[in-house]
Amino acid sequence: MKYRILVQIPELDEESKMLIKGILGNEFFVYFDKSEVDISTIDVLLVFRWEGVMDMDTLKRMSSLKLVQSITAGVDHLPIRELVGMGIKVMGAPGANSMYIAEHALGMMLCAIKKICVHDRLMRKGEFHQEEMHRTLFGKNLLILGFGTIGQEFARIVEKFRMNIRVFKKRSILPPEWRGRIDRVYISKNELDDVWPWADYILIALPLNDETQNFIGAKELELMKRNALIVNISRGKIIDEEALYNHLRENVNFFACIDTWWVYPSPGESFSQHFPFHTLSNVLMTPHVAPKVPGFFENMVVTACTSILKVMGLTH
């Protein structure tokens, strides 16, 4: 018996639709338009965005739904409580573009400590400042918050810099390949009070949920080194926005590299946050583009489809 899957991703082109059919077609009847099928018979819902695409009234009519699969790594944009309360499994697609996100994080980090953007702007104005000193990654202390696919990819890259690496993760057991390569593992946020002052660099690679929202606030920032550098390629709301802005404004040697934000503009709107981060010189900003390389969207689709087959017990 074939399952039924409804794909609600308006951004899909014909090539991506064929890709989905190619992966799932032997096990699923694949529908891209909910008007083409009795939605009460749908077993799996594949989505990218939720707002403006799905609604709770439609969801309640999907009485056979067993799984909501997102093509994104995080699922914080989905109504998780409602879905779980209805007995529906919720899955993301981590790992699809982890290497590119880790690469972007390293790029931001190096750009910040080597003042590359600063030098570029000054030289375009005719200024030539060789007296400037820069920081290094070699032999420095790195704290990775979240040791999933992105955290591990980043650790692989920066091992070349002989950094001292500590990680915060859910469980104390490391994957076999990392045993002996990570200095220490922390599983409780309370343990980090002694680690914030140790870290020269902090990478945020945590999923956003009730436990991690505002994971870093004024207290944690105050415990960090005055010249610490933090990189957020996860979700903006993991850091308290006001606390970060105030800390950056009051500590000019502290630096933040931010790719993920608290507020996202709608098409045609200007970018702005609740606090004017763009006015601070100790912030490096990119518009949530860390995974954006050719093929990134296809990677997300393939990873999500592979997850569906696994969750539904259809892998061999």
* Res 316: pLDDT: 59
**Assigned token pair, 153:** 């990819």
Question: CA triplet 305, 308, 310: central angle to 5 degrees?
Answer: 115
Domains in the chain: boundaries: 3-96+295-311, 98-285
Architecture of domain 98-285: 3-Layer(aba) Sandwich (3.40)
**Assigned token pair, 272:** 């702005």
Q: Are 58 and 18 in contact (CB under 8 A)?
A: no
Cα torsion through 100, 105, 106, 110, rounded to 10: 140
Determine the Cα–Cα distance for residues 128 and 81; give it in Å rounded to an integer: 56
3-96+295-311 shares its CATH topology with 98-285: yes
Determine the Cα–Cα distance for residues 1 and 261; give it in Å rounded to an integer: 44
Per-residue pLDDT of the chain (316 residues; tens, 9 = 90+): 899 999 999 999 999 999 999 999 899 999 999 999 999 999 999 999 998 899 889 999 999 999 999 999 999 999 999 999 999 999 999 999 999 999 999 999 999 999 999 999 999 999 999 999 999 999 999 999 999 999 999 999 999 999 999 999 999 899 999 999 999 999 999 999 999 999 999 999 999 999 999 999 999 999 999 999 999 999 999 999 999 999 999 999 999 999 999 999 998 999 999 999 999 999 999 999 999 999 999 999 999 999 999 999 998 5
pTM of the predicted protein model: 0.93
* Res 43: pLDDT: 97
Q: Which CATH superfamily is domain 3-96+295-311 in?
A: NAD(P)-binding Rossmann-like Domain (3.40.50.720)
